[in-house]
Amino acid sequence: MELLELREDRVRFLLRGVTPAFANGIRRACLAEVPSLAIDEISIYDNTSVLFDEQLSLRLGLVPIKAEDLSLYRVSEECDCGGAGCPACQVGMTLTAEGPSIVHSGDLRFGDPAVNVAFEKIPLAILGEGEKLMLEGIVTLNRGTVHIKWQAGTQCGYKNLPDIGISEDCERCGKCADVCPREILVIEEGDGRVKVTDPTSCSLCKLCVVECETGRIKVVPIEDVFVMKIDTDGSISAKDLVIGAATEIKRRAMSLSEQLSELA
Ligand SMILES: [Zn+2]
């Protein structure tokens, strides 16, 4: 594994020596298997805005929510309380607003000071003069397999790393560099040779191959090397999301191994 880029909400890395199924396993686990927080149940006491209760609830459910330490919370079915509801698996939330105003995600108030929205400025509703909102809800931890609102990974994808080869007898016309949409091919000053700058940014569009009339450039995907890109919705850091995905895959593999050994 080779780290290419690490931000709070994005990680890019190279995975070498794995199958497409393994790379896809990481991607799918990032999307659906790592638990995150979301508003689950909502009780609306007053809503005189133009939004239907259902529209408002949908928007609230999709607000990314983060915790200082997510490991303190449990998925309710796996909690010691047996799903009845306790501070380890539920956090209370309230919203009270009166127009004229724009209600933002930052107006939500949580019962646990260690829990808050990932972004304060997500617009939720526009309230006219005298219009009111008063509601409360419950934030729970769960997985993207249950509902998309618990999906912390947003854009998660992978592609093969390309092997870009330019033969020695290249005529140095520069057409391949002109046509490359990602500016990966550049003409070196002086001798006019084509240089490959960052193959991890290549989308394998092969426009350069089509443009090169003499066939001196080849772009071939390396079958067992993948460029992984994982984006999050802000509720979990990209680093924690990938670690959580790998941990989940490991847990399942060990569980399968145990069950198979019991059968043997
Ligand atoms: Zn509980």
Whole-number Å distance between alpha carbons of 11 and 246: 14
pLDDT of 191 reads 80
Ligand 1 centroid to Cα of residue 78, in Å, is: 8
Ligand 1 centroid to Cα of residue 28, in Å, is: 27
The low-confidence residues of the chain, meaning pLDDT below 70, are none
Q: What angle do CA 252, 256, 258 make, to 5 degrees?
A: 115
pLDDT of 189 reads 84
Ligand 1 centroid to Cα of residue 92, in Å, is: 13
164-223 pLDDT, tens digit each: 999 888 888 888 999 999 999 988 888 888 889 999 999 999 999 999 888 899 999 999
Whether the Cβ atoms of residue 209 and residue 218 lie closer than 8 Å to each other: yes
pLDDT of 171 reads 85
Whether the Cβ atoms of residue 11 and residue 157 lie closer than 8 Å to each other: no
pLDDT of 193 reads 86
Ligand 1 centroid to Cα of residue 89, in Å, is: 4
**Domains in the chain, start-ordered, CATH in brackets?**
2-31+154-231 (3.30.1360.10), 35-151 (2.170.120.12)
- For the annotated binding site, the residues are 202, 205, 212
Whether the Cβ atoms of residue 105 and residue 117 lie closer than 8 Å to each other: yes
pLDDT of 64 reads 97
Ligand 1 centroid to Cα of residue 119, in Å, is: 27
- For the annotated binding site for [3Fe-4S] cluster, the residues are 202, 205, 212
pLDDT of 213 reads 87
Ligand 1 centroid to Cα of residue 139, in Å, is: 12
Ligand 1 centroid to Cα of residue 13, in Å, is: 36
Whole-number Å distance between alpha carbons of 28 and 11: 15
pLDDT of 229 reads 96
Backbone angles phi, psi at 206, to 5 degrees: 60, 25
pLDDT of 190 reads 80
Whether the Cβ atoms of residue 48 and residue 132 lie closer than 8 Å to each other: yes
